[in-house]
Amino acid sequence: MLHKTLPSTRSLLTHGLAAGVAIIWLVVVWLSRQEGEINVFIVIGLCWIASALVFSLWFYARQQVHLFTAQFVLLWAIVMRLISLWGWPLFEDDQYRFMLDGCVFLEYGTPYGISPQVLLADNSLSPACADLLNWVNNPHLSTIYGPVLQWLYAAASWLAPANVSLLQVMMALCDLALVALLLKLAKAHNVLLYALCPLILKEFALTAHPDVVAVLLLLGALYTLNLQRVYLAAALLASACAAKIIALVLAPFLLWRMAWSARAVFVLVIVAWYAPFIWQGDGGNAVLALFATQWQFNPSVFAFFKVWLGDETARLTSLVLFAALWAAVFGHWALHKDRLDWPRADVLYGLFFVLSPVFNAWYAIWFLAFAVIKPSAWAWTMSYALLLTYVTGLNWMESGLRAYQIAPWAYHLMWGFVLVAGAVSLWQTKLKL
């Protein structure tokens, strides 16, 4: 009798741990709905407790794999995202830009080259859309988001102008689709790390950042290429690049395995996405160039280079160093592609952001999605360490920090966590590039 009750007891334990994560996340979402300044340290603390429960669940899952089915992961992924949809974007104001892009696209036929500052003197926007102009950050700059995302924003604006809830639903659905796709590419208990990750929940279902769309398209390209559906893979890959240009980091690895006809499809789809906007005179390239040459937030290696070389030379040095490392990885993989399946995309994207002048918390999805396939200590440590990037003057008003300045102690603590985890990863396993 005791033997027969053990499986149900274990199942109850796993659901109990998952429910614990959900309850903690429910409190975070409730806090997001409160008026006034929200205590950033309480939110981070709750997210860290939830992360500890997720990691405990994952460690337990490694011994009880039969309990962690795709249905279990998908069930709790849906629950967590439904909870998220009750909340309001937390510690962010990017959602106003997303909604405004949709309004401007529908009104002017393009979202590019038209800054919110210019629109302040124009009365053509609807009252709901015009109100967004009071909240958009960097109002002197036009948008930098790719054409795939602009069509999504336009669709959202057409259905419900200036409605952040609709954007949250769109990103939550993309995130759930990504979970379902990861369940086809990785073990269910590893996908659990992503499905219940507080950082992922905050950045996409709650805050509606769009990187999840590009990563979904990129993973879709990889999956369909494995199924030998090369033309679909090429179209998905091109769409990923047209959503977020950073998808180009992995694109050559996929294109290398395609015939020239599929590569031609990739080029044609890229052109199809960009051509209508370039025809009108702007594809967002000017502001994207400004972002690449001037913006800085949460740098690591780049910050060291900048101290010794100055800003411009440091940017060039970081770019050249990443290009050299990328070329080495690609060359090794191309020579051994019959033996190696796919490169460590988590490592490639991790290197990219470590060398980059800008490393926002939501960029983590670019390596965390691949760290589901091959989990690593450094990647999942980053999933909770990056929450410290929200300890800024904007979210901790009495600190005396500038709006987007990270508290020095939070910055050093974050990168200290990552360095220790990276050392553990290197000690435990030899990276297979």
Give the pLDDT mean for 141-170.
95
- Judge residue 162's burial from the number of C-beta atoms within 10 Å of its C-beta, 0-12 exposed, 13-18 middle, 19 or more buried: buried
Could you give the 3-state DSSP secondary structure of residue 301? helix
Structure tokens at 61: 């899952």
Alpha carbon 31 to its chain centroid, in Å, reads 22
- Confidence check: pLDDT of 287 > 80: no
Give the pLDDT mean for 328-344.
78
Angle between helices 345-355 and 377-385 (to 10 degrees): 50
The Cα-based distances of 398 to 32, 37, 82, 333 in angstroms read: 19, 11, 33, 51
- Confidence check: pLDDT of 209 > 80: yes
Q: How many CB atoms lie within 10 A of CB 357?
A: 24
Give the pLDDT mean for 100-125.
90
Q: What is the mean pLDDT of the chain?
A: 91
For residue 84, what pLDDT is reported?
A: 98
For residue 286, what pLDDT is reported?
A: 64
Q: How many CB atoms lie within 10 A of CB 21?
A: 26
Residue recorded with tokens 């005179």? 281
Q: How far apart are CA 281 and CA 330, in angstroms?
A: 35
* Percent of the chain with pLDDT strictly greater than 70: 94
Alpha carbon 385 to its chain centroid, in Å, reads 15
Q: How many CA atoms lie within 13 A of 302 on its CB side?
A: 26
Q: Cβ distance 20 to 53 under 8 Å? A: yes
Domain boundaries, the chain: 296-433
At residue 215's C-alpha, the angle toward residues 213 and 219, to 5°, is 120
Give the pLDDT mean for 66-71.
83
User: In the chain, count of helices (H) and strands (E)?
Assistant: 21, 0
Per-residue confidence band for 340, with pLDDT thresholds at 50, 70 and 90:
low
* Percent of the chain with pLDDT strictly greater than 90: 74
The region of weakest confidence among 28-37, 82-91, 289-298, 335-344 is 335-344
The region of weakest confidence among 61-65, 80-84, 99-103, 153-157 is 61-65
Per-residue confidence band for 305, with pLDDT thresholds at 50, 70 and 90:
very high
- Judge residue 223's burial from the number of C-beta atoms within 10 Å of its C-beta, 0-12 exposed, 13-18 middle, 19 or more buried: middle
332 contacts: CB under 8 Å, gap ≥ 6: 433
Give the pLDDT mean for 291-314.
90
- Confidence check: pLDDT of 164 > 90: yes
Structure tokens at 185: 């590419």
- Judge residue 265's burial from the number of C-beta atoms within 10 Å of its C-beta, 0-12 exposed, 13-18 middle, 19 or more buried: buried
Q: How far apart are CA 31 and CA 38, in angstroms?
A: 7
For residue 339, what pLDDT is reported?
A: 53
Beta strands in 173-262 (DSSP E): none
75 contacts: CB under 8 Å, gap ≥ 6: none
Total residues found in the chain within this entry: 433
Per-residue confidence band for 374, with pLDDT thresholds at 50, 70 and 90:
confident
Could you give the 3-state DSSP secondary structure of residue 115? coil
Per-residue confidence band for 13, with pLDDT thresholds at 50, 70 and 90:
confident
Q: How far apart are CA 190 and CA 58, in angstroms?
A: 7
Q: How does pLDDT run across 233-279, given as a tens digit for each residue? A: 999 999 999 999 999 999 999 999 899 999 999 999 999 999 988 87
Task: Between 166 and 420, name the one with better pLDDT.
Answer: 166
- Confidence check: pLDDT of 137 > 80: yes
Which span out of 134-143, 194-203, 423-432 was modeled with the highest average pLDDT?
194-203
The Cα-based distances of 337 to 100, 334, 344, 347 in angstroms read: 45, 5, 13, 17
Give the pLDDT mean for 200-224.
97
For residue 180, what pLDDT is reported?
A: 97
Phi and psi of 161, rounded to 5°? -60, 135
312 contacts: CB under 8 Å, gap ≥ 6: 293
Q: Cβ distance 206 to 63 under 8 Å? A: no
Per-residue confidence band for 367, with pLDDT thresholds at 50, 70 and 90:
very high
For residue 2, what pLDDT is reported?
A: 43
Q: DSSP string covering 360-376, please?
A: -GGGGHHHHHHHTTS--
Alpha carbon 38 to its chain centroid, in Å, reads 23
Structure tokens at 313: 């030379």
Structure tokens at 128: 């709901």
Per-residue confidence band for 429, with pLDDT thresholds at 50, 70 and 90:
low
409 contacts: CB under 8 Å, gap ≥ 6: none
For residue 4, what pLDDT is reported?
A: 46
